[in-house]
Chains A and B, each alone.
Chain A
Amino acid sequence: MIAMSNQEPSAASVGATLNALGVKQFGLSFIALALILVIVFWLRPNVASYNGLRLLLNLSPVLVFTALAQMFVMTAGDIDLGIGPFVGLVNCIVAGLLNDQPALAILMLAGCAVAYSLMAALIHWRQLPSIVVTLGSSFVWLGLALMVLPLPGGNVPAWLTSFVRLHPPLVPLPIILALVPMVLAHLVLNKMSYGVVLRGIGGSLSAVERAGRSTLKARMTLYALAGVCGLLAGTCLAGVTTTGDANVGRGLTLLSIGAVIIGGGEFVGGIVSPIGTVLGALIMQLSGSLLSFASVAPAWQYSVQGGILLVILALRVVSWRRLRP
């Protein structure tokens, strides 16, 4: 840490101020989410119940895990353009193979997570821009998914479909599946001592190296975490939809980037918020439902999703202007 603050005093002090204002980082998204929920409850009072929330947030774990995956990659200052197709690939393996050939399927899923980490090694060794490596790998994930499951369908294991239908007491499952990963990711990045190294490589690679830590190992760890989150996202997706579809993840990539940024993350690396990311994912997920409840024509849903993204970011920039370099 000392090495880091010596490296770039101005950047470090801004970073320290931002970290001290951790709440401010995702405060706006918290208000936005609360606002959306209030409007949803006002339009559809039935939703404000255990079952209402359960159905409303049915698909949200998928975006929550995908957004967390994107967040881990963005922690390193990278961008993952392939996470959507990756979730699609996992979805196809779970739906297409897990029931009939469990050993092969588990081997493939483990291979997927390892592949993610190897991607980080390639980016590190050859000093490649992540945006293009992940762009290339997005074709690989899509291709593999098509090879596993050429047509949508498959056979999702019964234990998985019954798991996503669980009714835990008091709190609906989708909310648990948002809170638990949120807390875990927060612990890893913000509370564990290794989290400093993980966030550090996004801030300053040379500072981490001078502190005697392996930047290769840190980047591979972040990508492996992203891979695991991708595995969970694809598995949840298979459980909820009970089918596999290679093309299902196409829109997820951009939504996940939006979620991280709404949640206070930055493209420069090192500045991310697991709590904000989960809030951002829920905002992206719920804005769609909000519009259909408000009887807005589906055509305008994209517009409002884009509008929410812009308004939150514009507000944040206005409130942050003094802090920004």
Chain B
Amino acid sequence: MNALGISRLLAQPWFYASAGAILVWLVIVGHSQGAGGGAVISAALNYSVFFAVVGLGQMLVMASGAGNIDLSIPANITLAAYLSTGQMVGSDSGLVAGFVAGLAGGIAIGAANALLILAFRIPPMVATLASGLVVESFTFVYSRISVAKPSPLLADFTTERFAGVPYVTLAAIFASVALIVVLRRSLFGRSLFACGQNETAAWLSGVNVRRTRVAAYVLCGAFTSLAGILFAGFTGGPSLNMGSEFLLSSIAVVVIGGTNVAGGQASVLGTWSASLFLFLLLSMLNVLQVGPGLRNVITGVLIIAVLALNKTNRMQLV
């Protein structure tokens, strides 16, 4: 590969996350003298799919403009997990009703966020933080009156594998390819990036800025609740604090994946790579028997390092 090719590769938003994931995987395989490399990838694909799906939702919101962010994600995940498994009650007959209930909850949260932000002009960070708090209350009350148990089919779907790749991951990869096409080719995708790059310019050229932002938040709500439903199946049932680890990691995977925090640009592949990178990093530190304290320190330093290296994340505003 010539110098131009390399510099073009380095400029790709997803490059650093992918390179990091491969590097970490090589360390794991090297440490175990070449054994279990496939199993590690298989586990990573299974676990990181939930973070990738949530990250893709967060990515759409962040790409829609500077300051846009969804902090109601943890509450959304937990609510969707309880609503869906509450309909399933451990049997496959409630599977469809469960998905409908969970997704309806997530879409409602996304719509409420959009309403608060666009109609009441509350800053996204506070609006979604507050809506998350309200949702948490509802989940808490609902969790006490419902019997939450995922259907066997859902549990199998999230854990069984086809040629080493979990079914849930295969489905998510297909959906992600569809998302890439939507972002690159569809009116919504072009409008989303236009809004993120310059709201006024987008509005002047006839883009419906409000409708595009509403769509971003609603899609984020839907993606997040979908991840919540699947995660409940994966873990064998919901718990009240199951969403908490998704708050910071949803932001981390988006940004490490090369999506610009200032909006206007996004990378589906990068978000996936970053999800794999974070999971593999955690596995590597586990394999190397690093204690929980040092593990967190290394994770934090690497997040900052990847960010400092990646040129796409420079602030374009201010």
Contacts and interface: CB of A to CB of B under 8 A. Distances in A.
B123 A267 contact: yes
A261 B126 contact: yes
A299 B125 contact: no
Interface stretch (B136-144, B218-226, B264-272): B136-144
A50 interface: no
A88 B208 CA distance: 44
A250 B247 CA distance: 11
Contact of B122 (A205, A299, A301, A310): A310
Contact of A136 (B141, B301, B318): B301
Contact of B297 (A131, A147, A306): A147
Contacts of A252: none
A267 B129 CA distance: 14
Given A150-B293, A303-B133, A303-B134, A138 B314 contact: no
Given A129-B261, A132-B303, A147-B294, A302 B137 contact: yes
A240 interface: no
Contacts of B308: 122, 126, 128
A157 interface: no
A317 B261 contact: no
Contacts of B303: 132, 135-136, 139
Interface in A110-140: 122, 126-129, 131-133, 135-140
Contact of A302 (B133, B248, B315): B133
A175 interface: no
A309 B315 CA distance: 29
B304 A143 contact: no
A132 B313 contact: yes
Given A135-B252, A306-B131, A144 B297 contact: yes
Contacts of A79: 125
A254 interface: yes
A42 interface: no
B251 A132 contact: yes
Contacts of A267: 67, 123, 125
B262 interface: yes
B304 A299 contact: no
Nearest to A250: B244
Contact of A313 (B71, B120, B248, B315): B120
A225 interface: no
Interface string A134-168: 01111111111111101000000000000000000
Contacts of B294: 143, 147
A127 B260 CA distance: 13
B152 interface: no
Contacts of B121: 317, 324
B126 A143 contact: no
Nearest to B260: A129
Contacts of A136: 252, 300-304, 307
From A132, A147, A257, residue with most partner B Cβ within 10 Å: A132
A122 B304 contact: yes
B300 A301 contact: no
A164 B234 CA distance: 47
Nearest to A260: B126
A305 interface: yes
Contact of B123 (A140, A205, A261): A261
Contact of B126 (A144, A145, A257, A305): A257
Given A128-B308, A147-B291, A299-B140, 18 more contacts: A81-B248, A129-B262, A132-B252, A132-B304, A136-B304, A140-B300, A142-B300, A143-B292, A143-B299, A146-B292, A148-B293, A150-B293, A261-B123, A261-B126, A303-B134, A309-B133, A314-B122, A324-B121
Interface of B: 67, 69, 71, 116, 120-123, 125-127, 129-134, 136-138, 140-141, 244, 248, 251-252, 255, 261-262, 291-304, 307-308, 313-315, 318
Top 4 nearest A-B pairs by Cβ distance? A143-B296, A139-B300, A306-B133, A147-B293
